[in-house]
């Protein structure tokens, strides 16, 4: 489905919408942007606002998108937060089953830490999502992944892979073997650059750290690409591609142009790694949609540190 991004006769058209329903997560994952985001309100928006937002975008009512991604946390903090997440998950899943309206080609994606965490959501039902992205996978999970695809009609499995920290337990050689084995049964591997939030204070010391971090990540991505030479399943972090493209053509990333992140309080930023939202919180679904419109007026990429970190590493 192709959409003209911007305002249309039917409302607003965007490419991708990311929904982050809660700040609560029992995990402390390396590089997690959610816990670093500065809250504009202590409270999460009503579950009805998120379920109605998902319904409207899926049906193409006043807002259309090519893709919605729901972030499912690891739960476990408190019963209320768990119930809240389950309601959003089930509503999202029902939309995946009943895609209808003018926006029927929309893709519904889920991101989750592990198969174990997904099982907390799917104990009653796993829906036919277009893609599930896991942060943690291992070769021992092949049969679980096969089940997810074959019995639950999930179309694609993606592995969001970050540069591992090698130590005496895990060495580069073992890790490359593991990546190769998982690569055989997933549909894609997204090689992630471990980012820090944008829109934070950048001093010289920070810039040196950013360059070094990016250099290490690019080196590691190069090794993976070498190991799996020619694999169409490998994808490099879109932020790196966007920053490289910007250096060539001065066209930057699509955050705040056609891609938006809805935070737990209903506030919105273009960039998923923004330290602060571009808008205030929202207490209604109309408020969230108005926030998406308003976030378009601020181009988060202007504050992005990645293009500045690139020159030395590309020499």
Provide, rounded to whole angstroms, the least separation between the CB of residue 221 and ligand SF4. Answer: 15
Counting residues that bind ligand SF4 (by CB under 6 A) gives: 13
List CB contacts of 269: < 8 A, sequence separation 6 or more: 255, 256, 260, 261, 263, 276, 277, 278, 279, 295, 300
Nearest 5°: phi and psi at 43? -95, 150
Provide, rounded to whole angstroms, the least separation between the CB of residue 288 and ligand SF4. Answer: 20
* DSSP, residue by residue, 215-228: HHHHHHHHHHHHHT
Provide, rounded to whole angstroms, the least separation between the CB of residue 300 and ligand SF4. Answer: 5
Provide, rounded to whole angstroms, the least separation between the CB of residue 250 and ligand SF4. Answer: 14
If phi > 0 it is left, if psi is from -120 to 50 it is alpha, else beta; for residue 266 that is left
Q: Lay out the site mask for ligand SF4 across 278-307 (x = CB under 6 A, - = otherwise).
A: ----------------------xx--x-x-
Out of 33, 220, 263, 273, the residue judged to bind ligand SF4 by CB under 6 A = 273
The answer to the question of residue 198 lying near ligand SF4 (CB under 6 A) is yes
| Distance in angstroms (rounded) separating the CA atoms of residues 308 and 196 | 14
The answer to the question of residue 242 lying near ligand SF4 (CB under 6 A) is yes
Percent of residues in the chain assigned helix, strand, coil, to nearest 5: 40, 15, 40
The answer to the question of residue 257 lying near ligand SF4 (CB under 6 A) is no
Sign of CA dihedral 11, 48, 19, 94: negative
If the CB atoms of residues 94 and 196 are measured against ligand SF4, the closer one turns out to be 196
Provide the residue count of the chain.
315
Provide, rounded to whole angstroms, the least separation between the CB of residue 306 and ligand SF4. Answer: 5
The answer to the question of residue 131 lying near ligand SF4 (CB under 6 A) is no
Binding positions for ligand SF4, rule: CB under 6 A: 195, 198, 239, 242-243, 253, 255, 271, 273, 300-301, 304, 306
């Amino acid at each position: 489905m192709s959409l003209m991004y911007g305002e249309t006769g039917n409302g607003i058209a965007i490419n991708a919408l990311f929904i982050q329903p809660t700040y609560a997560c029992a995990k402390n994952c390396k590089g997690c942007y959610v816990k670093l985001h500065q809250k504009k309100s202590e409270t999460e928006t009503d579950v009805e606002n998120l379920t109605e937002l998902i319904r409207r975008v899926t049906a193409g009512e006043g807002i259309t998108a090519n893709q919605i991604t729901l972030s499912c946390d690891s739960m476990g903090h408190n019963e209320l937060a768990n119930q809240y997440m389950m309601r959003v998950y089930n509503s999202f899943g029902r939309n995946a089953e009943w895609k209808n309206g003018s926006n029927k080609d929309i893709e519904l994606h889920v991101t989750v830490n592990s198969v174990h965490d997904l099982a907390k959501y799917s104990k009653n039902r796993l829906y036919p999502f277009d893609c599930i992205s896991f942060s943690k996978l291992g070769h021992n999970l092949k049969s679980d992944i096969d089940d997810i695809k074959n019995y639950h009609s999930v179309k694609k499995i993606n592995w969001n892979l970050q540069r591992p920290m090698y130590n005496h337990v895990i060495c580069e050689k073992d890790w490359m073997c593991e990546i190769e084995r998982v690569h055989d049964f997933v549909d894609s591997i997204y090689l992630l650059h471990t980012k820090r939030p944008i829109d934070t204070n950048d001093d010289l010391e920070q810039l040196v750290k950013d360059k070094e971090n990016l250099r290490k990540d690019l080196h590691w991505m190069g090794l993976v690409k070498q190991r799996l030479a020619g694999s169409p399943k490998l994808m490099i972090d879109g932020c790196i591609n966007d920053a490289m493209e910007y250096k060539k053509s001065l066209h930057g990333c699509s955050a705040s142009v056609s891609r938006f992140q809805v935070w737990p309080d209903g506030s919105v930023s273009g960039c998923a790694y923004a330290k602060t939202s571009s808008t205030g919180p929202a207490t209604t679904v109309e408020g969230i949609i108005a926030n998406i419109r308003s976030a378009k007026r601020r181009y988060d990429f202007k504050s992005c540190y990645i293009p500045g970190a690139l020159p030395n590493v590309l020499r």
